[in-house]
Amino acid sequence: MDKQLLQTAYSPEDFRQNGHQLIDLLAEHLDKSLNKSSSKVLNWENPSEEYKFWNNFLFNGKPSDLNNEIIKRSIHLHHPHYMGHQISPVAPITGLTSLLNAILNNGMGIYEMGMAPTAMERVVVEQLCKEIGYGKKSDGFLTSGGTLANLTALLSARKNRTGNDVWENGTSNKLAIMVSEEAHYCIDRAARIMGLGEKGIIKIAVDEGFALKTELLEQSYKKTIHEGYEVIAIVGSAPSTATGIYDDLETIGDFAFEKGIWFHIDAAHGGGAIFSSKYKSLLKGMKKADSIVIDGHKMMMMPSITTALLFKEGRDSHNTFRQKADYLLQDSKEEDWYNLAKRTFECTKYMMSLHWYTLLKIYGKSIFDEFVTTLYDLGQEFGELLENDPLFEIAVKPMSNIICFRLINKDKDLLSLNKINSTVRQKLLEEGEFYIVQTKIKDIVYLRATIMNPFTTEEHFKKLLDNIKRKAFPLLNL
């Protein structure tokens, strides 16, 4: 059989040439975005038109135009006007570690398929546990995102706290977890996947600052027990996704210890603050947690998707799953930390430790301090601008780089204001000069900015607000 196409596809010289062209293209893209010579964050197109373009391009487009079109039609996270979702503008060096991972493609299910990244992962986990304040018995691993990590942590909680080998025997017990009503939706999803059902998710109301109302914990716990449920875990948010507010982790940790239930912290967004000398206090009480989730792709400058799941007692990171697969996993007399498929959902796992390890090796942990501290400072700065503008109202004084705000007018009712704020957001999206999102909190529509770019400045905030006002004036009849 003629293998000409295969030889071309695997040609080192073609790879070298295409690779240099792509690096040059991406470097130019970074330069335009970071220095704002490009006026737009995105070029908005509705889904059907975008589909038509790519369907036509597959058959009629020039291959040499492919990368240019992908960049043109993607959101530019490195632009200082990007203030949208909690996705990091990656440190460019992690683009290179992604390339290294893609070419080497070591699966990491078992040690022999990923010797270097497996050992590097253990080094990274040890450094993270040390920053948290965990002892020598702590352990953990990296996995594919906060949703999967939170689910794994709650499965570990179930195994640890029920005293029943659910993996082998199943369970018909009525189990429950306690969580803030402002917690990320993946906690609710995890509980439902585990079979807890709606009644097994005990949502605790939040205070005026949108933090979990700790004074309600005892009452909610007793009510749940009285209804025949066994509470196995309580989850603290650090911070909540919608509002960026940190729960009182220390008080929640004390409550969990008193009741003998598992304390888990969803710090997917804000866990990177462990490296911030200025903001680490937001995580006070974190070392009381049995497990903690921290995303690398949110506040630690890494590509999607990589998450650390860390356990105070390392044995809990080994006990969640147990499954016989002789061709993969062999029994060992010692703790085989190096066979990661025993501890994670993934059998094939990409070499995500390369990102964490390389950033620590090249820049040191101070790079995370600079990144988180800069973004949280910008959150405070933007919040102050909004508080001093009578046309805007903030949902809550920001604790992080997430700010929820809305246009207000005393002559408009809630329904009208909700529509106006949504309309302005859509106009921003279609225009493409700025990118922010929206959220609904207690039936109120808020514009939501997450400051993810450390090169965003007060000048950019002012331009955003001026842009919003121009779009709002006709709607507010001002």
The CATH number linked to 478 is 3.90.1150.10
Instruction: Report the alpha-carbon distance of residue 81 to residue 468 in Å, rounded.
Output: 13
Strand partners, 393: 406
300 or 39, greater pLDDT: 300
68 within a domain of the structure (yes/no): no
Residues 425 and 446: beta-carbon distance below 8 Å: no
pLDDT over 60 at 121, yes or no: yes
Residues 371 and 296 occupy one common structural domain: no
Instruction: Report the alpha-carbon distance of residue 304 to residue 227 in Å, rounded.
Output: 41
Strand partners, 266: 237, 293
Residues 404 and 342 occupy one common structural domain: no
Helix pair angle (249-259, 217-226), 10° resolution: 30
Instruction: Report the alpha-carbon distance of residue 416 to residue 468 in Å, rounded.
Output: 16
Where is the domain boundary, 339, 364, 389?
364
**pLDDT for position 346:** 85
Residue 388, domain extent: 12-41+76-92+365-478
The mean pLDDT of 403-416, rounded to a whole number, is 94
The mean pLDDT of 26-46, rounded to a whole number, is 90
H or E segment to which residue 115 belongs: helix 115-132
**pLDDT for position 385:** 97
Instruction: Report the alpha-carbon distance of residue 468 to residue 146 in Å, rounded.
Output: 32
**pLDDT for position 478:** 59
**pLDDT for position 357:** 98
**pLDDT for position 112:** 87
What are the two backbone dihedrals, phi and then psi, of residue 292, each rounded to the nearest 5 degrees?
-140, 140
Residues 286 and 153 occupy one common structural domain: yes
Provide the 3-class DSSP secondary structure of residue 312: coil
The mean pLDDT of 57-61, rounded to a whole number, is 97
**pLDDT for position 328:** 44
182 within a domain of the structure (yes/no): yes
**pLDDT for position 323:** 46
- When divided into structural domains, the chain yields a total of 2
Where is the domain boundary, 364, 390, 421?
364
139 within a domain of the structure (yes/no): yes
**pLDDT for position 332:** 44
**pLDDT for position 151:** 93
pLDDT over 60 at 333, yes or no: no
**pLDDT for position 37:** 73
Residues 133 and 233 occupy one common structural domain: yes
Across 190-204, 323-337, 340-354, 445-459, least confident range: 323-337
Q: How confident is the model at residue 334 (pLDDT cuts 50, 70, 90)?
A: low
**pLDDT tens digits for 42-57?**
999 999 999 999 999 9
Token pair of 374 as six digits: 């800069």
**pLDDT for position 326:** 43
424 or 113, greater pLDDT: 424
Residues 306 and 353 occupy one common structural domain: yes
**pLDDT for position 322:** 60
6 within a domain of the structure (yes/no): no
**pLDDT for position 327:** 41
Residues 81 and 131 occupy one common structural domain: no
Residues 117 and 255 occupy one common structural domain: yes
The mean pLDDT of 252-279, rounded to a whole number, is 97
325 or 158, greater pLDDT: 158
For residue 146, the domain's CATH number is 3.40.640.10
Burial tier of 83 (Cβ tally within 10 Å: 0-12, 13-18, 19+): buried
Token pair of 426 as six digits: 């859509």
Residues 349 and 278 occupy one common structural domain: yes
99 within a domain of the structure (yes/no): no
pLDDT over 60 at 460, yes or no: yes
The mean pLDDT of 399-420, rounded to a whole number, is 95
Residues 359 and 370 occupy one common structural domain: no
Q: What is the pTM of this model?
A: 0.93
**pLDDT tens digits for 171-218?**
778 999 999 998 888 898 888 988 888 889 999 999 999 999 999 999
Instruction: Report the alpha-carbon distance of residue 436 to residue 425 in Å, rounded.
Output: 7
**pLDDT for position 164:** 65
pLDDT over 80 at 281, yes or no: yes
What are the two backbone dihedrals, phi and then psi, of residue 43, each rounded to the nearest 5 degrees?
-110, 95
The mean pLDDT of 128-145, rounded to a whole number, is 95
278 within a domain of the structure (yes/no): yes
Where is the domain boundary, 364, 383, 413?
364
Q: Is the dihedral of CA 411, 416, 422, 428 positive or negative?
A: negative
Residues 330 and 448 occupy one common structural domain: no
133 within a domain of the structure (yes/no): yes
Q: Is the dihedral of CA 372, 373, 379, 382 positive or negative?
A: negative
pLDDT over 60 at 299, yes or no: yes
Q: How confident is the model at residue 169 (pLDDT cuts 50, 70, 90)?
A: confident
Instruction: Report the alpha-carbon distance of residue 131 to residue 204 in Å, rounded.
Output: 29
Across 75-89, 275-289, 318-332, least confident range: 318-332
pLDDT over 70 at 325, yes or no: no
Residues 127 and 186 occupy one common structural domain: yes
Residues 169 and 182 occupy one common structural domain: yes
Instruction: Name the nearest CA neighbour of 110 among 374, 354, 269, 329.
Output: 329
H or E segment to which residue 263 belongs: strand 262-266
- Chain mean pLDDT for the chain: 92
65 within a domain of the structure (yes/no): no
124-140 burial, b for 16+ CB within 10 Å, e for fewer? bbeebbebbebeeebbb
pLDDT over 90 at 365, yes or no: yes
